[in-house]
DNA sequence: CTTGACATCGAACGCATGTTCAGGTATTAT
DNA sequence: ATAATACCTGAACATGCGTTCGATGTCAAG
C-alpha cells in the first residue's frame, strides 16, 4: 500500500525525519547518520533515507555536505540561532560607582549565572561581541530612563558618545551613576531622560563627566509585582 | 624541541584545537573530524589529535561520543545556547484592539523578521515555549508601564491572572489596550502601573475586562534618541 | 494491459574516520 | 647515567557511513 503525500510538499515521513534530525541534533549536538535516521523512522534501507533526504534538500528544508559523515543540518525557522554570551559585570545604582571592566580579564567563564545570552540578530549586525557587557539595575533611580529595578542593561564599551546615544555616565558633581540620552550643546552637556515627560539635566563643559558605555539593549524579566 | 605548557591547564595546542572545533561547528553546523582538526592545527598524525582530544575530555573542555564520526562537542561557556523563536503577532497600541492568536496557525515560519529569539535560560525554566508570543509596542501610551515605543513585549497566553502579574488587557470601557499589574480586590479590579510614581486605575467587577496574556519579558533595542 | 512515476528493499562498494600500536625524541626527576 | 614522563610519528586496522544499483510492488494515466 502506497503512502500518499498529505500536505502537498511534506509527507508524513518527511516530517518525521525532519523532526528526528532536529531532536537528535538538539540532544547530541551533532547530526544523526543516515542509518540512525532509518532506525528511528522505521525505514529499513539506507537508500530510502537518502531518497527522502534528497527531497528534503531539494525543497530547501535541509542542507547536506555530501560525502561527509553526518553532514546535514536543518535550515529555516528551527535552525540553531547564533547567540552571544554577555557577562554581567555587576550592579548599577544611583549612588555607587559603575563596575569597571578590567582589561585582559576573560569574563566568559562557564558561569551562566553571571551572563545573559542574546541572539545576535537582536543586536546591530556589525556588532562583534567583544566590548559588550551588561549591568544589573539596582533600585528605582533609573526610572526616568524607563528602566526599572532588576532590569539588565546591555552596554557597549565607550568613553565618548555621539548626540542622541544613551549612555551610562558617572557624574562626579552629584556623585551619581545614571543612564541618559547624551547631547553635546554649545557650552554644556544635556542629559535627556528617556521618559519624554521628564526634564533634562545640564552639565557645564568644564565639569567632569565620565561616560562609561553606550546602552544598546534593555532586558526586563517581568515578575509578580512586589506590592 | 619540546612545547611547554603555558597556562598550567591548557597548552597552546589545546587552545588552538578548542578554538578550531568551535569555529568549525559554527561554520558548518557539525563537528570536525579528527583529520580535519589535524590539518588545521598542523598536526600530522591523527593519533596526536586523539591524544589531545583525550586530554581535553579529561579536563572537561569537550565531550566525545566514541566510535561515532565527528562525535565531539565543546562544553561550558561557549557551548551552543538553547533558544526559543517567539512570533511577533503584531502591534499593541492604546486605541487599537490586540492581535489575537489564531488557533491552529503555525506562526513559526522561517520569517526571522517577525520573531524574536530568546535564550531559554532567560525564561522561567518550566516554560515550554508554546503559547508564547510577542507584541511590538506602538506609541508612548505604555509609558506608565515603563514600556516605550518600539519595545518588544513577550507574552504568555492567558485569559485570567493572579494578583501581582502584569497583563495585557483590553478595556472596553475606555476602548483601550494597556499593560498593567493586575490585582483583584473586594469588588473591583486594580490595574497598577509599573512606574511606582503613577496611580492605579480601578475597574468595577461588573464592567468587562479582557485579559489577553501575561507579560513575562520586555526587550528594548535602544537606538539614538529621535529628538 | 502497458507504461511510467513513485516508494521501498537489500546488498554491495569504497572512502571517511576513529582506534591502536610499535616505535621515536626531547625534557625532567632520581 | 638511568628512569620516567610528555610529546610526536607513521602506519595499519576495523568499522562507520554515504553512495549506487538492481529488483519489487503500487497506483494512475493512456
The grid coordinates listed for A174 are 552629584
- For residue A23, give every residue at least 6 positions away whose Cβ sits within 8 Å of its Cβ, in sequence order, or none: none
Pairing of β A72-74 and β A62-64:
antiparallel
The pLDDT, as a whole number, for residue A227 is: 54
Distance, in Å, from the CA atom of B132 to the CA atom of B155, rounded to the nearest integer, reads 6
DSSP code for A163: T
Nearest DNA or RNA nucleotide to B72 (CA to C1'):
C18
Say yes or no for a CB contact (<8 Å) between A143 and B140. Answer: no
The pLDDT, as a whole number, for residue B226 is: 59
Judged by average pLDDT, the poorest of A68-77, B132-141, B166-175, B188-197 is: B188-197
Coil, helix or strand at residue A65: coil
Provide the strand spans (E) within chain B.
62-64, 72-74, 83-92, 115-119, 132-137, 152-157, 165-171, 176-184, 188-192, 201-204, 210-221
Say yes or no for a CB contact (<8 Å) between B119 and A83. Answer: yes
Q: pLDDT tens digits for B121-144?
A: 899 888 887 889 999 999 887 888
Is there a catalytic annotation at residue B221?
no
CB B34 under 7 Å to nucleic chain C: yes
The pLDDT, as a whole number, for residue A4 is: 41
CB B50 under 7 Å to nucleic chain C: yes
The answer to whether the Cα torsion of A150, B77, A23, B87 is positive or negative is positive
The pLDDT, as a whole number, for residue A111 is: 58
Say yes or no for a CB contact (<8 Å) between A218 and B222. Answer: yes
Q: pLDDT tens digits for A133-189?
A: 999 999 887 888 889 899 999 999 998 899 999 999 988 888 888 888 899 998 999
DSSP code for A31: P
Query: What is the pLDDT of chain B when averaged over all its residues?
Result: 85
| HEC sequence for B32-92 | CCHHHHHHHCCCCCHHHHHHHHHHHHHCCCEEECCCCCCCEEECCCCCCCCEEEEEEEEEE
Considering only the beta carbons, identify the residue of A28, A119, A222 that sits closest to B83: A119
Place of cell 526587550: B219
The pLDDT, as a whole number, for residue A9 is: 61
Distance, in Å, from the CA atom of A190 to the CA atom of A95, rounded to the nearest integer, reads 20
The pLDDT, as a whole number, for residue A63 is: 94
Place of cell 566525545: B64
Over residues A73-94, mean pLDDT: 84
Amino acid at each position: 500500500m502506497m503512502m500518499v503525500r498529505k500536505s502537498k510538499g511534506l509527507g508524513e515521513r518527511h516530517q518525521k525525519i525532519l523532526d528526528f534530525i532536529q531532536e537528535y541534533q538538539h540532544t547530541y549536538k551533532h547530526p544523526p547518520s543516515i542509518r540512525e535516521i532509518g532506525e528511528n523512522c522505521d525505514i529499513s534501507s539506507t537508500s530510502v533515507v537518502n531518497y527522502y533526504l534528497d527531497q528534503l534538500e531539494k525543497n530547501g528544508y535541509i542542507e547536506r555536505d555530501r560525502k561527509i559523515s553526518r553532514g546535514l543540518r536543518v535550515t529555516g525557522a528551527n535552525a540553531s540561532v547564533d547567540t552571544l554570551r554577555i557577562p554581567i559585570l555587576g550592579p548599577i545604582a544611583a549612588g555607587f560607582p559603575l563596575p569597571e571592566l578590567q582589561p585582559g580579564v576573560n569574563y566568559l567563564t562557564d558561569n551562566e549565572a553571571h551572563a545573559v545570552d542574546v541572539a545576535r540578530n537582536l543586536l546591530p549586525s556589525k556588532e562583534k561581541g567583544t566590548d559588550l557587557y551588561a549591568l544589573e539595575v539596582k533600585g528605582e533611580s533609573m526610572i526616568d530612563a524607563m528602566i526599572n529595578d532588576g532590569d539588565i542593561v546591555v552596554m557597549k564599551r565607550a568613553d565618548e558618545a555621539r548626540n542622541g546615544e544613551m549612555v551610562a555616565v558617572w557624574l562626579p558633581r552629584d556623585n551619581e551613576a545614571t543612564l541618559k540620552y547624551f547631547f553635546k550643546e554649545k557650552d554644556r552637556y544635556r542629559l535627556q531622560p528617556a521618559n519624554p515627560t521628564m526634564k533634562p539635566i545640564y552639565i557645564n563643559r568644564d565639569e567632569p563627566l565620565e561616560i562609561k558605555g553606550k546602552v544598546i539593549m534593555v532586558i526586563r524579566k517581568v515578575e509578580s509585582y512586589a506590592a
